[in-house]
Amino acid sequence: MKHHVILSYAKTAFRLSIKQLAIASLSMLSASGLSMAWAASGSVDPVARGAYLVTALGCADCHTPMKMGPKGPEPDLSRLLSGHPEQLMLPPPPKADESWAWFGSATNTAYAGPWGISYAINLTPDKETGLGAWKEDDFVQALKTGKHAGVGRPIMPPMPWSALSHLTEDDLRAMFRYLQTVPPVHNRAPDYQPPSP
Ligand code: HEC
């Protein structure tokens, strides 16, 4: 008798756990079904994703010029992502030695090193001086290959294209989409200068 009670208790417990398991796996299924539907419907807004990436990856650190503010250097938000200011002509950089190999301007948009002098370019959608006339594929290929617009001369330091080349194509496209929505600034960053022989 005692044995029978224990057995039926065990059976009930077993049935219960099967039922609970079924409920648990059903809810897991519907959760993954949901997230699949979410991805399939394309509800991730590429512009929002691009804004997130451009902000988190620090593109503005080099592509927005710094200016002197009341508390020290601060990004010039009126020139957001517009590259090295075209009117700002710089004197020749200091001489490098074995200890100090490269230098950055006070705006953090111009860089002198063994590669010559490079200037952060205008990433705003201005048609003449920014990325306004670029195709999405030019941008993706530039960051994937390290060549200007994917086909031209090598992209110079300190532009971190080789790290960025690890991003997915979707993320690179999202970044381009976002950059096309920032206020256009007319500013032609100076051309790259190779090292003097
Ligand atoms: C450490 C500084 C630095 C950071 C950070 C940086 N850039 Fe640059 N970027 C540069 C410089 C300098 C150049 C110009 C290089 C040259 O003239 O070869 C450049 C050039 C570019 C170009 C032009 C490439 C071409 O085809 O000629 C693009 C596009 C670009 N950057 C996008 C970005 C994006 C997007 C980010 C953020 C994910 C970013 N950069 C972060 C410094 C930087």
pLDDT per residue as tens digits for the range 43-91: 789 999 999 999 999 999 999 999 999 999 999 999 999 999 999 999 9
The H or E element that residue 33 is part of is helix 2-40
Q: Which atom of ligand 1 is nearest to the CA of 57?
A: 38
State the Cα–Cα distance between residues 125 and 187, nearest whole angstrom.
11
pLDDT the model gives residue 163: 98
pLDDT the model gives residue 3: 55
Confidence category of residue 42, pLDDT binned at 50, 70, 90 = low
State the Cα–Cα distance between residues 76 and 150, nearest whole angstrom.
29
C-alpha torsion 125→127→129→134, nearest 10? 70
Which own/partner pairs from 67-70 qualify as long-range (CB within 8 Å, at least 24 positions apart)? 67/107
Output the CA 16–ligand 1 centroid distance in Å: 60
State the Cα–Cα distance between residues 121 and 82, nearest whole angstrom.
7
**How long is the chain?**
197
Percent of the chain exceeding pLDDT 90 equals: 77
Output the CA 96–ligand 1 centroid distance in Å: 23
- In order of 4, 42, 158, the CA distances from 15 in angstroms are 16, 41, 64
Mean pLDDT for the stretch of residues 173-190: 98
**Both structure tokens of 6:** 């224990």
- Predicted TM-score (pTM) of this structure: 0.82
**Both structure tokens of 24:** 């648990």
C-alpha torsion 174→134→63→88, nearest 10? -170
State the Cα–Cα distance between residues 119 and 105, nearest whole angstrom.
10
State the Cα–Cα distance between residues 171 and 196, nearest whole angstrom.
38
Torsion-angle region of 117 (φ positive above 0: left; ψ -120 to 50: alpha; else: beta): beta
| pLDDT value at 36 more than 70 | no
Name all residues whose Cβ lies below 6 A of ligand 1: 54, 57-59, 61-63, 111, 118, 120-121, 123, 139, 142, 148-149, 155-156, 158-160, 164, 175, 192
